[in-house]
Structure 1
Amino acid sequence: MTQSVLCEVNSCKNWEQGNKCTAELIYVMSLDNKQSSEIKETGCKTFEPSAS
């Protein structure tokens, strides 16, 4: 489990109470496949919907 990665998306299967991310690997990508210069131009490819 990653120790210092926080996530507020509680609908992700890797989300844990306290906004902790339990994914073994975090994959962040550019949303438009170009060089990103702002947070809003990136997205978390690691997201998977939780079962609940």
Structure 2
Amino acid sequence: MAQSVLCEVNSCKNWEKGNKCTADLIYVVSLDRKQTSETEETGCKTFEPSGS
């Protein structure tokens, strides 16, 4: 398992200075529910707005 996960989405509550992700679990899904082959076809379900 990855020891560090980088994130550039500073509006996420799991974002930390230096583009570090502090979430305990990262959940990534296929956007069209099919086999994916491109980054653009996936999405991070771990995202939560920093104000929540």
TM over 0.5: yes
Structure 2 unaligned regions, length at least 5: none
Are 2:13 and 1:13 aligned?
A: yes
Structure 1 unaligned regions, length at least 5: none
The alignment's TM-score, normalised by the length of structure 2, stands at 0.91
Are 2:42 and 1:42 aligned?
A: yes
Aligned residue pairs total 51
Runs ≥4 residues deviating over 3 A: none
Identity %: 82
Are 2:28 and 1:28 aligned?
A: yes
- The 1-side partners of 2:4 and 2:13 are apart by 17
CA RMSD of aligned residues (A): 1.6
The alignment's TM-score, normalised by the length of structure 1, stands at 0.91
Q: Give the superposition deviation at 1:4.
A: 1.3
